[in-house]
Amino acid sequence: MRRALVILILLGLGVVVGATQGAEHAKLRVEREPGRVFLRGPSGNALVVYQTERPRAAQLSVESGCFFHPLYTPAGVALTDLAPPDHRHHRGIFLGWVEMRGRKNADFWGWGAHAPTQDCRIVSRGITGIWQKSAAAGFRTRNDWMAGDDPLVREDLEMQLKVVPGAHVLDLEYRLRTDEDLTLVQWAFSGFCVRGRKDGSVVAHAPGRIVDLPNPDHLKPESDWPDAPWYAFAMKLPGDVQAGMAVLSHPKNPRTRWYNDRDIRVLNPSITALGDVTLKAKKPLLLRYRVVAFDGPIPGPLLDSLAAEWAR
């Protein structure tokens, strides 16, 4: 009897250990490679890629790394675009402004019409704080916005990607610091941007409605769309594939209007649309955004729920 009891206990422990090992194996994974960081699902499929360096094969017109591309839906559909022919400086999910004025003037967006882009690049200084769980993973990174040899801005980015039913949710928290006051000049566009792929059709949505506003004019900030908890593009891609992406701007971000252009496929909450924004010396500017990649039609209730949960 005693021997049988011991065997049963050991078998039970084996079941527990096996279950624990299975749970460990089922974690999302963060994998570093030269020039990029992969967040992978339990089966090894990529969920999103963070490019710490400018990909050598890309036809980017800027030297910056430190952006996300590609971002995938749960079904494995890639949604973002990199260096498309119409805007070679667009790079998946990225942060930058077209006109920054301080001890040096700089354009880290990549347009080059009103401030220099030459020798302006965002440089990764390392990935830290990697963590991995069964349905979420993340890391921290520090980046310098370099104008020549001068670090104009220090960026501390904390990211996490979590898997929810029907969607991947990418949360991004940027802290930007400067040694001297630096002005982000008023423009309809620039700031945080998600650039989507253009092969297919797109319909813009906001909470509870299809958006019928015209595309904004990049020279007229007043033409930007009014602020909302989220905007989304429902995309019909080749092969009759339905998927889409949404951007949520945190309610504690600076006042925002949205440069959302269906033709260019950008979702761009612009904090400079309402006027100049000044980064005060040694006082961090905190910006938080949530990007949702989904399959099928617009998941309005899910986006509403994610916006409400995030606002709390």
**Sequence spans of domains, the chain:** 44-311
At 92, list the tokens. 């998946």
CA 176 → CA 129, 158, 179, 193, 218, distances in Å?
18, 12, 11, 16, 25
The pLDDT confidence band at residue 88, using thresholds 50, 70 and 90, is very high
Query: Radius of gyration over alpha carbons of the chain, in Å?
Result: 21
Q: What is the pLDDT of residue 249?
A: 97
Q: What is the pLDDT of residue 184?
A: 98
- Mean pLDDT in residue range 44-69: 97
CA 40 → CA 51, 150, 202, 289, 305, distances in Å?
14, 35, 28, 21, 25
Which residues are CB-neighbours of 173 under 8 A, at least 6 positions away? Answer: 157, 158, 159, 286, 287, 288
Per-residue pLDDT at 19 exceeds 70 = no
The pLDDT confidence band at residue 25, using thresholds 50, 70 and 90, is low
- CA neighbor of 283 nearest in space, from 184, 180, 185, 150: 180
Question: Rounded to an integer, what is the distance from CA 66 to the centroid of its chain?
Answer: 11
What mean pLDDT, rounded, does the chain reach? 93
Write the pLDDT tens digit of every residue in 190-205: 999 999 999 999 999 9
Q: What is the pLDDT of residue 17?
A: 37
What is 44-311's CATH number? 2.70.98
Q: In whole angstroms, give the CA distance from residue 164 to residue 124.
A: 29
In three-state secondary structure terms, 19 is helix
Write the pLDDT tens digit of every residue in 145-186: 999 999 999 999 999 999 999 999 999 999 999 999 999 999
Q: In whole angstroms, give the CA distance from residue 149 to residue 104.
A: 11
Q: Is 111 left (phi over 0), alpha (psi -120 to 50) or beta?
A: alpha
The percentage of residues in the chain with a pLDDT greater than 70, rounded to a whole number, is 92
Cβ atoms of 183 and 101 within 8 Å: the answer is yes
Per-residue pLDDT at 20 exceeds 80 = no
pTM, rounded to two decimals: 0.92
Cβ atoms of 260 and 247 within 8 Å: the answer is no
User: How many other C-beta atoms lie within 10 A of the C-beta of residue 129?
Assistant: 10
- Cα torsion angle, 101, 102, 107, 113, sign: positive
